[in-house]
Amino acid sequence: MNFRAIVAVFAAAFIVAAMSDTASAKQYVKNVHGRQVVVHTSPIPVVLHRLVPPQHGRHVTERELQSGRLPNPGR
């Protein structure tokens, strides 16, 4: 596949994932180490927010929050 086809496939996959029901999973805001963190119940929106510059703080999953894998205070 050439570069344009790869970009088109990636863009189509991104749009489908952004419009799906799982991308609109529940979320809430929590302060961790003095920083605002957006916690999602599904990992799909977190992946999308890591590909696109995040808005309203760092995005993590509930699993990351419960396991202690949180953003570093210096980051």
pLDDT in single tens digits along all 75 residues of the chain: 689 888 888 888 877 776 665 555 688 888 887 888 888 888 877 777 777 765 667 778 888 888 877 666 554
d(CA 22, CA 25): 5
Q: Which residues of the chain form beta strands (DSSP E)?
A: 27-32, 35-40, 58-61
CB 60 within 8 A of CB 37: yes
**pLDDT value of residue 75:** 47
**pLDDT value of residue 63:** 84
Instruction: Take residue 33 and report the two structure tokens written for it.
Output: 């180490």
Question: Which residues have C-beta within 8 Å of that of residue 7, sequence separation ≥ 6?
Answer: none
d(CA 53, CA 13): 18
- Note if the pTM is more than 0.75: no
**pLDDT value of residue 34:** 80
